[in-house]
Amino acid sequence: MEDIKEKIPMIIAVIIIIALLVGAYYFLVIHKDLYYTQIDNTKIEEVSGSGDMNYQYTLKAYSKNGKEKEIQFMTSRELREGAYLELEIMQIRGVVDWKEVQTNDLPDDVKTVMNIE
């Protein structure tokens, strides 16, 4: 019985460490946030030495709640002026995917901050 009582703190510590590792893995590897932006080709910079990613955009983007964040991402081509994009963003890696969306696909709070009717 004493053996079990002596091992309880170690068991609790192992459980806490495992929980922290699972949480860190989720937020750093699995969890993705969605942001929305509109292409402004005056905010594009041509870059070299990045393989096939030759263009870098620096744009204001908005979370589904309308929270603003400046986002940088690279593309292989210049994107269509005025197009709306949905950006998948990971905590450490930044933008990992994007797709063009229609105005009616934007969350209401994003439409409000972007002045879209």
Q: Which two tokens stand for residue 92?
A: 């450490």
Q: Is the pLDDT of residue 2 over 70?
A: no
Task: Answer yes or no: do 18 and 65 share one domain.
Answer: no
Tens-digit pLDDT profile for residues 22-56: 877 777 667 789 999 999 999 999 888 667 888 99
Distance from the Cα of residue 48 to its chain's centroid = 24
Task: Answer yes or no: do 11 and 53 share one domain.
Answer: no
Number of domains the chain is built from? 2
Task: Answer yes or no: do 62 and 96 share one domain.
Answer: yes
Burial tier of 61 (Cβ tally within 10 Å: 0-12, 13-18, 19+): buried
Task: Answer yes or no: do 26 and 37 share one domain.
Answer: no
Task: Answer yes or no: do 81 and 98 share one domain.
Answer: yes
Domain extent for 21: 1-31
Task: Answer yes or no: do 42 and 14 share one domain.
Answer: no
Task: Answer yes or no: do 60 and 90 share one domain.
Answer: yes
